[in-house]
Chain A
């Protein structure tokens, strides 16, 4: 199976859109001293930028969902999992950031892990790309772009600098 790169998208414009949406959410929903958490790896890159732009005081949290995946028995544990770095989530307002929302399984795993660090008060989700193909009833609060792709196509963020979105077609 081979991958061919068919397009690259401009990340900067999308990041600005995501930032604007999150700023509105923080105000409209009155998030108090929010804790921003990026999902490893792409989500962390985006969160590092957004954390600075939104001037969030609390240090950035990093979430690695490798131990919470629902397909562990099929693919096993990756040996170089970087541990999650999170403070207690007890009673916190949390802004969860990921690069691409696809099946929803990553977010399901991330929510489970968050609850193992405490009981958050609220969690909102911001993603750069929302693509079709959801397998769970999960949706984001802020989305920079919606994209419909064929099932043999994938979109992924590469980085950390420069950040690039790559659209691939899998050829069998």
Chain B
């Protein structure tokens, strides 16, 4: 199957979305990430895989954590990294997106890592770049954030191994969340037994059940017997849209506390893509508690991003994955 992100031999050309990838592909990405684990144990935390390659972090929307971990991942693969913050750069001068891309191509770069506020931006760039350039989606609008979803799967895998048995709850602003969308796709591909979304009605898409998930409007009900709890960041800018009464009230209804966590399984893990709004999505007690794997997610983000970059930049040995 040829898609924009897989070539005719089934190799990864771009990494734009979880959608359409096979279970074998998700496993391959996680296994590759796992094998990069030893790099951080080296005194020289680098492997020479992408030596001489130039990776451009093309961020049309600011993000500290995602950009930093992509930058570190590229550097640990020995690539040269260029960070371009376009929210304040060329586009402000009226340069079109394609002109920006053409100019960077003329500088002989090899990979674009793209973050954009518009859904489909990374796909658009992938359709128009020179054939030797790979595009990685670092989050586009409300559409997808595939490396975040993969690092979340990788974190779950480290704690739970067997995806088929898991009940996973995603809590918060599902409506606006590209993270949730990619997570749901990945969890379905990996075959978890149940995916729940827990949110006020105003923050759930109208067609949410078509995604193959169970919707809850009550946190206590939704958390019962879950193995993994993924809290989403409440984007404060949504407050102005009259979608929520107040942060305080949100916390009262949907904030994760020790007492509420007790509803989940005793070995349930708590995740959050960061940055956390303490006292809004969750209590500090939970965020810093023994069940929280939030900082592990950050470390795994580097390994996953190394894996995706290495897979997209190299021809995958032993051919395609089914």
Which residues of A are interface residues toward B (Cβ below 8 A)?
A: 64, 66-68, 72-86, 88, 90, 112, 115-118
Contact = CB atoms under 8 A, between A and B. Distances in A.
Given A79-B28, A81-B35, A117 B317 contact: no
A1 to B, nearest CB: 15
Given A67-B49, A83-B35, A83-B38, A75 B44 contact: no
Contacts of A88: 43
Nearest to B53: A73
A77 B317 contact: yes
Contact of B32 (A77, A84, A90, A116): A77
B99 interface: no
25 contacts: A67-B47, A67-B48, A68-B47, A73-B314, A74-B315, A75-B317, A76-B311, A76-B317, A77-B32, A77-B316, A77-B317, A78-B318, A79-B28, A79-B31, A79-B311, A79-B317, A81-B35, A83-B34, A83-B37, A88-B43, A112-B48, A116-B46, A116-B47, A117-B43, A117-B44
Interface in B9-66: 28, 31-32, 34-39, 41-44, 46-49
Contacts of B48: 67-68, 112
3 A-B pairs with the lowest CB-CB distances in the bound complex, closest first:
A76-B314, A83-B38, A67-B47
B310 interface: yes
B43 A116 contact: yes
Given A73-B314, A84-B38, 11 more contacts: A67-B36, A76-B314, A76-B316, A77-B32, A77-B316, A78-B317, A79-B31, A79-B317, A82-B35, A85-B38, A116-B46
Contacts of B28: 79
Contacts of B36: 67, 83
B283 to A, nearest CB: 36
B252 to A, nearest CB: 46
Given A67-B48, A112-B48, A118 B38 contact: no
Contacts of B31: 79-80
B32 A79 contact: yes
A72 B32 contact: no
A84 to B, nearest CB: 5
Contacts of B317: 75-79
Determine which residue in A72, A75, A85, A90 has the highest number of CB atoms from chain B within 10 A of its CB, and name it.
Answer: A72
Nearest to A119: B43
Nearest to B78: A67
A64 B36 CA distance: 11
Contact of B315 (A75, A84, A117): A75
B65 to A, nearest CB: 25
Nearest to B319: A76
Contacts of B316: 76-77, 79
A77 B49 contact: yes
A94 to B, nearest CB: 15
A111 B314 CA distance: 23
Nearest to B44: A116
Contacts of B38: 83-86
Nearest to A116: B44
A168 B39 CA distance: 35
Nearest to A115: B44
Nearest to B318: A78
A80 B175 CA distance: 37
